[in-house]
Structure 1
Amino acid sequence: MSTSRSLVRIMPGMAKSPSGESVLTRAVRILDAFGPDDQVLTVTEISHRAQLPLPTAGRMVGELVRHGLLRRDEDRRVRIGVRLWELAQRASPTLRLREVVMPFMEDVHAVVGHSTQLGVLDGDEVLFVERLSAPGAVINLTRIAGRLPLHVSSAGQVLLAHAPVELQERVLRQPMHARTPETITDPGALRAVLAGVRERGYACCPGHVHPDATGVAVPLRGADGRVLAALGLVIPNDDRAWSRVALLQSAARGIDRTLRSGTLIH
Structure 2
Amino acid sequence: MTVDPAPISGRQPRAVRTALAVLEEVVAAGPGVTAKEISTALRLPPATTYRVLNLLVGEEYLVRLPDLRGFALGRRAARLSPVAVPRLPTAARTVVDHLRGRVRWGVHLAIFDGARLQVLDPDPDHPPSDADLLARLPQASALGRLLLAEQPDWRALVRDLRPVTDRTVTDPDALDAVLDAVRRDGLATQTGQLRPDRGCLAVPVRSPADGALVAGLALSGPATRVADPDPELVTLLREHATTLGPLLG
- TM-score tier after normalising by the smaller chain length: 0.5 to 0.7
Is 1:25–2:20 an aligned residue pair?
yes
Is 1:226–2:212 an aligned residue pair?
yes
Is 1:212–2:207 an aligned residue pair?
no
Shift in Å, 1:231: 2.1
- Alignment TM-score, normalising by the size of structure 2: 0.62
Q: CA RMSD in A?
A: 4.4
Matches of 1:55 and 1:185 in 2, distance apart?
33
Instruction: List alignment gaps of at least 5 residues for structure 2.
Output: 33-47, 64-73
Matches of 2:164 and 2:132 in 1, distance apart?
19
Is 1:192–2:182 an aligned residue pair?
no
Q: Secondary structure at the match of 1:234?
A: strand
Q: Secondary structure at the match of 1:156?
A: helix
Measured against aligned partners, the alpha-carbon deviations of 1:142-194 in whole angstroms (never above 9, x if no partner) come to: 32795132321111211222222xx236579x763222222222333322222
Percent identity over the alignment is 22
| Alignment-derived partner of residue 156 in structure 1 | 144
Matches of 1:226 and 1:238 in 2, distance apart?
32
Shift in Å, 1:225: 1.0
Of stretches 246-255 and 142-151 in structure 1, the one that deviates more from structure 2 is 142-151
What is the aligned length? 211
Measured against aligned partners, the alpha-carbon deviations of 1:177-225 in whole angstroms (never above 9, x if no partner) come to: 2222222223333222222212221111111111111111111212211
Change in CA separation of 1:193 and 1:23 when aligned onto 2, cut-off 3 Å:
closer
Q: Secondary structure at the match of 2:219?
A: strand
Amino acid at match of 1:107: H
Is 1:180–2:153 an aligned residue pair?
no
Shift in Å, 1:229: 2.8
Matches of 1:206 and 1:21 in 2, distance apart?
44
Instruction: List alignment gaps of at least 5 residues for structure 1.
Output: 1-11, 37-47, 65-69, 71-78
Shift in Å, 1:245: 2.1
Of stretches 14-23 and 219-228 in structure 1, the one that deviates more from structure 2 is 14-23
Is 1:107–2:93 an aligned residue pair?
no
| Alignment-derived partner of residue 249 in structure 1 | 238
Measured against aligned partners, the alpha-carbon deviations of 1:118-164 in whole angstroms (never above 9, x if no partner) come to: 142665xx5223132334x3x63232795132321111211222222
Matches of 2:18 and 2:117 in 1, distance apart?
26
Is 1:130–2:120 an aligned residue pair?
yes
Change in CA separation of 1:21 and 1:108 when aligned onto 2, cut-off 3 Å:
farther
Change in CA separation of 1:190 and 1:35 when aligned onto 2, cut-off 3 Å:
closer
Change in CA separation of 1:13 and 1:158 when aligned onto 2, cut-off 3 Å:
farther
- Alignment TM-score, normalising by the size of structure 1: 0.59
| Alignment-derived partner of residue 45 in structure 1 | none
Shift in Å, 1:246: 2.2
Q: Secondary structure at the match of 1:242?
A: coil
